[in-house]
Structures are given as structure tokens and as C-alpha cells.
Chain A
Amino acid sequence: MQGFLGAVGGIASQSGFVGLAQNPGYLIMIILACVLIYLAIVKQFEPLLLLPIGFGMLLANLPFGEIIHMDLFLTETGHPDFLKVFEQGGLADMLYLGVKLGIYPPLIFLGIGTMTDFGPLISNPKSLLLGAAAQLGIFTTYFGAKMLGFTGQEAASIGIIGGADGPTAIYVTSKLAPHLLGAIAVAAYSYMALVPVIQPPIMRALTTKAQRSIVMQQLRPVSRTEKIVFPILCTIVICLIIPSAVPLVGMLMLGNLMKESGVVERINKTAGNELMNIITIFLGISVGCTTSADTFFNLQTGYIIVLGLIAFCFGTAGGVIFGRIMCWATHGKVNPLIGAAGVSAVPMAARVAQKVGQKENPQNFLLMHAMGPNVAGVIGSAVAAGILITLLK
């Protein structure tokens, strides 16, 4: 009888409820995780990532679960205690290694490259300038974050949210400010899902009705040879200038080359489908697990949410303003709305540009023209990531 009571008592004292009583923050995080899961499933906010992230958040905030030990990664010296991770690590610790070692984001970029068509960009290279202008959001947010008291590395990681590129944000944050990874990832993917809500008011405020109605010239057809030369040329040029961009830009362009060459159909299909899906699952779970009550629940996270919104707004504004400059310079041949697509949430931002343009002029099909700046933005944010890592490592 004593043994039975002792055993039950022992189990009760090790249950998660004790942990919840000790630290009610866990309970709030569990509720927040359920909200994220609701947003992913019901509102369809980037479900491919927000669902695993939300669930990872749930798993990490069930006390005594031991699925992840962030203290092994965020040590005083800054170097993760890999030996202890291998000896004592839980499931999410092992999966998180792929994030920490910078493996997952470049491989996701490989998959993204196989799904990207650089044709509209090659036939209208001016789009590259719009892709550059939209990265203004990254650097203005860096400024804002520094003003709020973040260190340079933290500010850079928060700023890269403005690149509107999940893998880029995770890559930079895991290298520069890993303790902010959970908050930044949640903010980045949530705002990417909110692009159709955030962008149109800014686009309308910064353009005139006449400019929004501009119909652009048909794009010239791009030959297969050009589409094969492009990724090779980009990789060589960008990576010679900014070596720290090699993993991201290199993988993106490799994926694209695999698609355009047409001779490696098997591995092209795998990279874009099976590999992407596997890495997305691992990435989502492990990033979600980094958001436990102690790392997530503070003023910093609140600031990150606000700064993330500022990043997207300034990125959109930068792209549209430069679009107006280009419109003026080409005597009205460029519709400034496509500048907003430089915020590289592919293809959402291009679709938003299409919709806003169609409201003014139902015959206007800007989608293909907007895809140019959209994919240029992916390149632009990868370059910006490389610059920030070089300056602040």
C-alpha cells in the first residue's frame, strides 16, 4: 500500500502540472501555441511552417518535457556544448543542430531555387534595382532596433525580418543572435502571411492613380541558354564580392540551375519536393521548440513584433518609391506598384501587386512583371544577409 502511494506520489510530483504551478508563464505559452496553430489551420497563415512552429512551441512549454535544452546551445562562451548535446540532448536538440550548423536554411533555398523562374528578371534586368530598393526595410529596422537598445548582432537579426525571407532570417539569426531565434521566426512567418494586408495601403498612399494604371510592355522571351548562364553568373559575381553569401546564394542558384538545365530531372524533383518537405518539418519543429517561456516572454519579444512590422512597411515603401523613380526615368514605362514586389515573399507580394493594379485597371496583368522584382528581392535579401554577417560577426 505504501509502495503504491509512494509510486503514484512520485509520478505526480514529476508531472508537468507541478512545473506549471512553479512557472505560470508556461501556461500562457501553451495558450499562445494554440493560437498559432489556430492561425495556421483556420486562417491558413503560412501553415507549412507555422503549424510545426506552433506545435514545437507547445511541446517545449510542457514542463519537464526535456525535448530541448536551450541552455546547452546558449552557453556563456557562445559555443554550444556539443558533447553534452549528444549525451543528454532530446529530440528537438538533435533536430536543432541542423539550424545551429546552418544546414537547413541553405537546403530550403536549394528547393526554392528549383521552383523559381528567373525569366521575368532576365528579360527586364531593371527589376534587380527594385529588389535592392526593397531591402531598405532591413536597414531601417536595424536603425530602429539599435535605438531601442538591442546590440548590433540582435538588431541585424531583427532587421533581416524585412527581407521577408524565412530561411534567410533563420540563417542570420542562428549565426548572430540565436537566443532570439524563436521570436524572430514567429514574427517573420506571421508577417509574411500578412503581406496582402500590410502592403496595399502603403502602395496606394505612395502612388497616384495614373501611375497605378500603367500597363507595361510585354516581356521578351528568354532563351534556355540565358536561363542557364544566369545562375552561374550570379553565383560567381555575388560570392566573389560577399563570400559569406556563398551558402544561401550558392544553394539558391544551384537549385535554379538544376531546374533550367533539364538534364537532372530526378534530383531536381527531389530537391523541390521531398527534400524541401523533410527540411521544412525539421526546421519548423526545432525552431518552435526554442520558444520556451524563459526565452520568449519578455519585452524584447514585444519590440521584435513591432520592429518586424516596421521592417515590412519600410521595405514596401522603399520598393514603391524606387518604382516611382524608375517610372519617371523611363517616362512612364514602369508601373511603380511592381516595386512593392521587391519584398521577397514569393509569390505573395507579386500577387498583391497584380491585385492592386487590377483594381485600377481591370485589363492590367502585372503578375509577370512583378515576378521580376519578387525574385530579385530573394537575391537582394540573401546579399543583405551576407553583408550583415560580414559586418557584425
Chain B
Amino acid sequence: MYPTPFSAVASAIVMLENEPGIATVFLSGISIVFAVLVLLYLLITLEGVIFKSIDEKKKGASAPAQPKQQPKAAAPVKAPAPQIQKGIPGEVIAAIVAAITASEGSGKFSIRSIKRAKTGRSAWGSAGVSSNTEPF
């Protein structure tokens, strides 16, 4: 469009003498990209398998240790019946016990009592808390 000594010079630079053919670039380009990524895929899959087997060995080592300890501890100590406050349904108790088991992990525990907690917060207080935590 405009007199471009620029593009004349520019195209002089980029003229390669031994430029590979179109088909060569197309085919070798795609195949090398695939080859490299396939190789990576195989290596990562292999690595995943290796790590999985290491994990399983660890689990296998700790699992036999656990059942040995369990039967010893189960024999003594039967805890007294827990005191549950009136009005708490059985499903709620089951949920509470399940939540404690999930968070405490493998520790042994026995429920002593379950009581409804006082919220201790007025309506204003609750509104303040919820407006401060709203962005999250």
C-alpha cells in the first residue's frame, strides 16, 4: 500500500536458501510434537504406577500393625453409659459421633455426655458476624 523499502529489506533477510518443503515441516512437526508428548505420557504414567506401589507398600506395612493393637485394647475398659440431654434425636447423636471419629482419626474415645450448647449471641451479634464473613 505504501512504498515499503522496509518490506523489501525484510523479505531479503528471511529468504532461506535450503528451506525444507511444506510437507516436510508439516509432517515432521506434528509427528515430533506427538512423539515427545507420547514419551512424556509414558514416563508420567510409569512414574504414577511407581508412586502408587510405594504408597501401597506403606499402607500394607501400617495395616498389619494396627489390627494387632486393636484386640488388646478392646478387652478391658467398658466405659459407663453416656449422658445424653433430653430432646436430641438419635440421628443427631450418630452424626456427632461420626464427625468426631472422622476428625480424631484412629484415637480411641468414649462419649461421656452430649449437651446442647448455648449460642450466647444476640440477633445483633449474629448479624454482625454474618456481615463480616459474607465475602467468604
Q: How far is the CA of A186 from the CA of B1 in the complex (A)?
A: 20
Asked if A176 is at the interface (CB within 8 A of a chain B CB), the reply is yes
Asked if B9 is at the interface (CB within 8 A of a chain A CB), the reply is yes
Q: Which of A128-181 touch B at CB < 8 Å? A: 128-129, 131-133, 135-136, 138-140, 142-143, 146, 151-154, 156, 176-177, 179
Instruction: Known A142-B22, A383-B37; judge A76-B6 contact (CB<8 A).
Output: no
- Per-residue CB proximity of A379-392 to B under 8 Å, as 1/0? 11001100110011
Instruction: State whether A383 touches B33 (Cβ < 8 A).
Output: yes
Instruction: State whether B44 touches A230 (Cβ < 8 A).
Output: yes
- Output the nearest chain B residue to A70 by Cβ-Cβ distance: B6
Instruction: State whether A298 touches B1 (Cβ < 8 A).
Output: yes
Query: From residue A137, how far is it (CB to closest CB) to chain B in Å?
Result: 11
- Output the nearest chain B residue to A127 by Cβ-Cβ distance: B41
Instruction: State whether B43 touches A139 (Cβ < 8 A).
Output: no
Asked if A206 is at the interface (CB within 8 A of a chain B CB), the reply is no
Query: From residue B24, how far is it (CB to closest CB) to chain A in Å?
Result: 8
Instruction: Known A25-B2, A152-B19, A226-B47; judge A74-B10 contact (CB<8 A).
Output: yes
| Interface bracket on A | 35 or more
Q: Which of A65-89 touch B at CB < 8 Å? A: 70-71, 74-78
Q: How far is the CA of A294 from the CA of B45 in the complex (A)?
A: 52
**B14 contact set on A, CB distance < 8 A:** 151, 153-154, 176-177, 179
Asked if B39 is at the interface (CB within 8 A of a chain A CB), the reply is yes
Query: From residue A319, how far is it (CB to closest CB) to chain B in Å?
Result: 13
**B29 contact set on A, CB distance < 8 A:** 138-139, 142, 384, 387-388, 391
Instruction: State whether B43 touches A387 (Cβ < 8 A).
Output: no
Instruction: State whether A132 touches B33 (Cβ < 8 A).
Output: yes
- Output the nearest chain B residue to A298 by Cβ-Cβ distance: B1
Name the segment of A4-12, A236-244, A259-267 touching the other chain.
Answer: A236-244
Asked if B87 is at the interface (CB within 8 A of a chain A CB), the reply is no
Asked if A358 is at the interface (CB within 8 A of a chain B CB), the reply is no
Chain B residues near A (Cβ < 8 Å): 1-2, 4, 6-7, 9-16, 19-20, 22, 24-26, 28-30, 32-34, 36-41, 43-45, 47-48, 51, 55
Chain A residues near B (Cβ < 8 Å): 23, 25, 70-71, 74-78, 121-123, 125-126, 128-129, 131-133, 135-136, 138-140, 142-143, 146, 151-154, 156, 176-177, 179, 223, 225-226, 229-230, 233-234, 237-238, 241-242, 293-295, 297-300, 376, 379-380, 383-384, 387-388, 391-392
